[in-house]
Structure 1
């Protein structure tokens, strides 16, 4: 009986030690998994930051005249107030010119009629001074210096650069920036009596 009792005791001790070892291994595996998960979180956070940063991505637009000569570059940037359009140009006629966003991203010289009408997804009337306006694509006039240069920033507060969003400039048809020969009077239909289209650039090309 003593031998049997001792044998049973040895077996119980062995079973107990084996169980403890298994629990320790499971705890170690769990800790390793948690550590691995915690190490991956910084990468996930970085990816989130990078995704959010695309809201500030710039879109560059090259504007050419009827002779297919580059006369301006516009930098479009998403802002809280809308889309900022920073236009830098040269070799343009001095004076005040209408400046608009048009509904089709096609610039075929010399008349640029291919760009269609003003970008107007809300079905409004043209002009800041019209009670039923303005178009989403209506912009403030630009003033070209006597030397033919311009450096100006305007805000398009009714549009966005976010793809798929309401009033986005990055549509399937595309959109375009147009400079006109004359000033926009901000009320005449359909385009402010701004004259011919003298320069055009596709947005998002």
Structure 2
């Protein structure tokens, strides 16, 4: 299984790290090697809902995200195959980014999608902040696992928690926030 490293700015996420089996970001992330790709997040009404920055590292990408307007608690968080975010349902984002043709979920015995990410945790005000290091995608153009493939990809946050097993999206519910990943 590839290394997935999840470190959160929010205290609620930090407390969940040992339970999720994620290691400290400081022990895994490499030095920044490129300018970050900036992602503007929107809600189901097309209004601003936060930002994300995706930075190429020597051995993967670092995703830094801050999203607002969420319900308190855990939210499924994924990379989707299309660089489109048409409100209100964001179905234009397509399915999970899945260059390897795997199943969904970190706990799935058949592996997981290239777009699977750890749940985000929104605090009592509905804000989720986090940093996620992912070693199974890249910003390098021309690679099968590149987030900057022709047409781009997108970040999607769901209404509910990802169970890390169920196809196709971990029973995480409606898509409530979306942002396009492109140059």
| Cα displacement (A) at 1:72 | 1.3
Q: With structure 2 as the length reference, what TM-score do the two structures score?
A: 0.80
Equivalent position SS for 1:56: coil
Task: Quote the residue 2:41 is aligned against.
Answer: 63
Secondary structure, in 3 states, of the residue corresponding to 2:92? Answer: helix
RMSD of aligned alpha carbons: 1.6
Match of 1:74 in 2: 52
Q: Which has the larger radius of gyration?
A: 1
Aligned to 1:204: 182
| Structure that is richer in strand per residue | 2
How many pairs does the alignment contain?
153
Matches within 5 A, 1:36-185: 55-185=33-163
**1:87-143 Cα deviation digits (max 9, x unpaired):** 012222211000000000011100000000000000000000011111011000000
| In 2, Cα distance between equivalents of 1:181 and 1:106 | 19
Higher relative CO (CA 8 A, sep ≥ 6), structure 1 or 2?
2
- Are the aligned partners of 2:151 and 2:182 in contact in 1 as well (CA < 8 Å)? no
Task: List runs of 5+ in structure 1 lacking aligned partners.
Answer: 1-53
Structure 1 length-normalised TM: 0.71
Higher helix share: 1
